[in-house]
Amino acid sequence: MLLVNTYGMKAYSTDLREKVMNAYNNREGSQRELAQRFSVSLSFVQSLLRRYRSNGTIEPKPHGGGQSAKLNSEQIALVTLLVEEDNDAILVELCDRLQERAGVKISRATMARITQKLNLTRKKKQYMPVSDTQSGCKNSGRSIGQPLGRST
């Protein structure tokens, strides 16, 4: 039993809406009591009654549509290709390359959401030279990375 709102939740079922309306028509309690009885908000009961009085229906309103997608399927395929070509590229670089090839400008955050949604990992290479010197803690006598167990 969920209420339609801007957070993507589903509408209450028609069955629940009918039960609330039947209980109200049979005078089984006040709007507040019915809200508590059916575990819904008072504003839902009030909206349901208002909708029934004005439109004669208790059906939920159709989905509002939401925001349109920034990229079409071809552009998303291009993002996949860009990541495959250079998986070391940072998000800003991917945005720039997408703009060069497809003429579409998106933000770094949008690129992050797209790559996350597509499960595209951008694995960074480690360019760390091997060091000849041991860097260790002064007091322990052990270098970093050695186990802390007893020395034999």
pLDDT value at 5 more than 60: no
Residue in 47, 103, 50, 98 with CA at minimum distance from that of residue 76: 98
Would you state the structure tokens that stand for residue 142, as one six-digit string? Answer: 């052990």
CA angle 111, 96, 113 (to 5 degrees): 0
Distance CA 131, CA 56 (A): 78
pTM > 0.85: no
The DSSP code for 61 is P
pLDDT tens-digit map of 80-122: 999 888 888 899 999 999 999 999 999 999 999 998 888 877 6
Would you state the structure tokens that stand for residue 35, as one six-digit string? Answer: 């809200």
